[in-house]
Amino acid sequence: MELAGTEAGHIPRCYVMDMSKDFIPMSVFSDTPQGKISVEGKILNKFDMRPHNQTLELYGKLCRERTNKYMVKSRQIQVIDNDSGAHMRPMPGMISFSTSGPSEKKKSPAKATDTKRTRRDRGEMEEIVFKLFERQPNWSLRNLIQETDQPEQFLKDILKDLCVYNNKGTNQGTYELKPEYRKSGD
């Protein structure tokens, strides 16, 4: 088979047609004006086209050009003058989530767990926890994680040693300091 028309790039014009009958029988279907499906005919032969041996080099060149075209990266690098990075990552409290429905409320906590947090020294963390409990007597785990910016499991380990978890009552679901760590003025 030979394509008619003018040369367009490196597209080969001569092809070899291979006919085969050994495939699953197929039919051609169409929609009728009444909205029903009708059988138009059966497909008896399968034809495969491949570039002729004389034009195989042209076809190889076409494939290489196509591959090289899609390998070119379209991304651009831009140098930013203000390199403090404050505009790149939102700080705690800067993001406000819309409250249009319950599905969005469920999505917002998942975003907070994406960020990696680095552990501070345990002694330093204990001091920070004591200072937080001076400000307010009861804290939820979520609020403590937000205030300290520490990994959840690390913070839980510290709270297990220093605090009591309230299962019942008005402060349910919060932590408060153990009696031996509270100031005598309380």
**How much is the mean pLDDT over the chain?**
79
- Give Cα separations from 160 to 33, 114, 120, 121 (angstroms): 74, 24, 17, 16
Could you read off the pLDDT of 65-81 as tens digits, one per residue?
A: 889 888 887 777 777 77
Could you give the CA distance from residue 133 to residue 144 in angstroms, rounded to a whole number? 10
Q: What 3 state SS string does 85-131 have?
A: CCCCCCCCCCCCCCCCCHHHHHHHHHHHCCCCCCCCCHHHHHHHHHH
- The H or E element containing residue 9 is none
Which two three-digit tokens encode residue 109?
């906590």
pLDDT at site 139: 92
Residue 171 gets which letter from DSSP?
T
> What is the fold of 122-181?
Arc Repressor Mutant, subunit A (1.10.10)
Q: Where in the chain is the domain with CATH 1.10.10.10?
A: 122-181
Question: pLDDT below 50 — which residues of the chain?
Answer: 103-112, 186
| Structure confidence by residue, pLDDT tens digits, 120-138 | 888 898 899 999 999 888 9
pTM: 0.38
